[in-house]
Amino acid sequence: MMGIFGCFGRKQAPQAPSVCNLRIGASLDRLVAVDDPNGRGEYQLAIDRLLREEEPAVVYLRSDNPDDLSVVRRALEYLSSLGGEVAVAEQIPETEVAAIFGVTVEQYRLAVANPDGDVGAFA
């Protein structure tokens, strides 16, 4: 009898939240985790869905693992290939983000400050 109650009475240790290599959203307070463990293009599909459904002025990108920002960089590269999109990845230096988008840091800052401005002229 003690074995049965012992099993039900034991508290399980809380599991650590899984690390997400890419979170995206239209604002920093509404980032959605994107997972692609099998490499099936879920990151790109999630970005496309965000752009289509929310039409954000700025796309925010973040990783739970600041030691590996490779997925965030790939997402930035994808967004830059689309043209006309503005993205912020605060974990990556502005100089690097601007270089990925093929603009100067000043142009990048202007685009972030005024995403509805003439962003297309920079791409």
Which residues are within 8 A (CB) of 2 and not within 5 positions of it... i.e. 6 or more apart?
Answer: none
Task: Kindly list the domain boundaries of the chain, sorted by start residue.
Answer: 19-121
CB neighbours (10 Å) of residue 14? 6
Are the C-beta atoms of residues 23 and 91 closer than 8 Å to each other? Answer: no
Whether pLDDT at 10 is above 70: no
Angle at the Cα of 48 from the Cα atoms of 47 and 51, rounded to 5 degrees: 85
According to the model, what pLDDT value does residue 48 have? 96
According to the model, what pLDDT value does residue 8 have? 45
According to the model, what pLDDT value does residue 80 have? 95
Whether pLDDT at 6 is above 50: no
Whether pLDDT at 120 is above 80: no
Confidence at 107, pLDDT banded by 50, 70, 90: very high
